[in-house]
Amino acid sequence: MVYDVYLVLGVIGLYALATIGYLFGIIFNKDKLNRIALWIGATGAFFHTVAVVLRWYLAGHAPTTLYELNSFGGWLAVLAFLLARYWRRDLNLLGMVVFPVVFLVMGWGLTKYTLIEPLKPEYQSFWLTLHVLFAFLATACYLLSFSAAVLYLWGNKRVLKKLPPRQVLEELSAKFIGVGFINHAVMVITGSIWADVTWGRYWGWDPVETWSLVTWLIYGLYLHLYFTMGWRGRKLAWLAVIAMGVVIFAYYYVPHLPVKIFS
């Protein structure tokens, strides 16, 4: 094991504490507990940054293994939440969804830990680095939208009064998806360029490519229904939840995914 693993274990513990803090803050209706949970999560993000930088430095390349990718993706998701919270103080309770999700993602990623090995030639590509970066930027935005949708659907009165009005929450969810949709498009483009440079073709209908496109189209449908068709309310929030489910399916369950791309 290398030193970054111990940092990641500590980060997972801090994210777990942040999750518990938010849970108790809601149960006992204590804003102070929610603020403490935020600071615990922010402390975890600081050490998470150190862990990501350290692993990148030790490996000498961008994240490529499942362990590295889950840690990197979780890091971007937490940073996106903290930026959103800095932008709007009334988005603090999104952390009660973000932190447990990141906790689970990183815990699962830790089970896939591997020692640092030299990259295969096909992975030594600037385009792959961009592809991974934009993939997780998109996912971070989608997670924020998912968090807003979850609170929109299942938040009780005590939760909702600490959040923006439901109409504003819905608008923010759509904006998060809009930013994620753009990053997702860049991810697909950079991935296609990488595939052409590496294998001589832009698109091969690989399961990973196909489900990435399907996911992008689902979020495109969301934006179309919101901006063009005037969809609002619970049905739109449910679509955001379902779309995030497809993201999870595409990343964790699509056949051959770990072998073809992220191994």
pLDDT digits (tens, 9 = 90+) for 162-219: 888 888 899 999 999 999 999 999 999 999 999 999 888 888 888 888 889 999 999 9
Q: Are residues 137 and 15 in the same domain?
A: no
Q: Are residues 30 and 98 in the same domain?
A: yes
Averaged pLDDT score across all residues of the chain: 90
pLDDT for 244 = 97
Q: Are residues 111 and 55 in the same domain?
A: yes
Cβ contact 137:183 at 8 Å: yes
Q: Are residues 144 and 205 in the same domain?
A: yes
Band (255; pLDDT cuts 50, 70, 90): very low
Cβ-based burial of 154 (10 A; exposed 0-12, middle 13-18, buried ≥19): exposed
Q: Are residues 151 and 96 in the same domain?
A: no
Q: Are residues 112 and 137 in the same domain?
A: no
Domain count, the chain: 2
Handedness of CA 238, 244, 246, 249 (dihedral sign): negative
Question: How many other C-beta atoms can be found within 10 angstroms of the C-beta atom of residue 157?
Answer: 6
Q: Are residues 96 and 204 in the same domain?
A: no
- Residue 261 pLDDT > 70: no
59, 94, 119 - which closes a domain: 119
Q: Are residues 203 and 255 in the same domain?
A: yes
Range of the domain at 9: 1-119
Q: Are residues 109 and 164 in the same domain?
A: no
Q: Are residues 38 and 160 in the same domain?
A: no
Of 72-81, 133-142, 190-199, minimum mean pLDDT range: 190-199
Q: Are residues 163 and 208 in the same domain?
A: yes
Name the residue with higher pLDDT: 65 or 224: 224
119, 144, 173 - which closes a domain: 119
Q: Are residues 194 and 223 in the same domain?
A: yes
pLDDT tens across 212-248, in order? 999 999 999 999 999 999 999 999 999 999 999 999 9
Closest CA to 79 of 172, 8, 141, 162: 141
**For the chain, what percent of residues have pLDDT higher than 90?**
67
119, 137, 166 - which closes a domain: 119
Q: State the pTM of this model.
A: 0.91
pLDDT for 260 = 46
